[in-house]
Amino acid sequence: MSPKKNPALPLKDVMAAIDKKDRNFYNNLSAEQKKAFSAWMMMRYCSSVQGRDAANYIYMTNELLNRYHKIEYKVPQHPELQWLLFTACGVGKVQFHPFLKPPNARKKNNKVFDFIYNIYPHMKAEDINNLIEINSKEELKELAEAHGYDDKSIRDIFGK
């Protein structure tokens, strides 16, 4: 078994620096550690606090970080500014930031869902799921036939 590799930038240290409003933390990181800094992941953890200061963290993360993250993510010209915004979310003392399971990157392959989405691209995912639930398999097959799908495509989508 290989030895456990220590992360280049321990999450506990980053969160403590945010909580304590350590404005120089980012500037004191090595080049390797700066590369390991993930603003998206830190935003997830920053907004996840247990205790009486949770509302403050959620509000400040949304107002200062989430609002401009999409723009900053495309053109990350000011990583130090991003860090300063993170520190503005802190309350001055270390908080408990619970573990957050990372989102599943794999797309669930649901052929019936994709079929309906191709017919009705304006529908919300929830509405498509409801449509699948309230209609039988035969009714959905009839819908496919009405939209010009051939037998082979219908078998591919719905099975036998």
Q: Tell me the pLDDT tens digit for each residue of 1-25.
A: 455 566 678 888 999 999 999 999 9
- 84 contacts: CB under 8 Å, gap ≥ 6: 23
Say what the pTM is.
Answer: 0.58
Which residues make beta-bridge pairs with 50?
96
Per-residue pLDDT at 74: 55
Domain carrying residue 60: 11-89
The answer to whether residue 2 sits within a structural domain is no
The answer to whether residue 117 sits within a structural domain is yes
Per-residue pLDDT at 17: 94
**Is the model's pLDDT at 100 over the cut of 80?**
no
- Which pairs from 25-34 meet CB under 8 Å and 24+ separation? 25/83, 25/87, 26/79, 26/80, 26/83, 27/80, 32/8, 33/8, 33/9, 34/79
Answer yes or no: do 18 and 54 share one domain: yes
Query: CB 14: neighbour CB atoms within 10 A?
Result: 26
Answer yes or no: do 18 and 59 share one domain: yes
Q: Report whether 48 contacts 73 (CB < 8 A).
A: no
Mean pLDDT of 121-145: 90
Answer yes or no: do 68 and 123 share one domain: no
Mean pLDDT of 48-63: 88
Gap between the Cα atoms of 52 and 55, Å rounded: 7
Gap between the Cα atoms of 37 and 56, Å rounded: 23
**Is the model's pLDDT at 149 over the cut of 70?**
yes
Answer yes or no: do 22 and 83 share one domain: yes
The answer to whether residue 3 sits within a structural domain is no
Gap between the Cα atoms of 12 and 2, Å rounded: 23
pLDDT band, very low/low/confident/very high, at 34 (cuts 50, 70, 90): confident
Answer yes or no: do 83 and 33 share one domain: yes
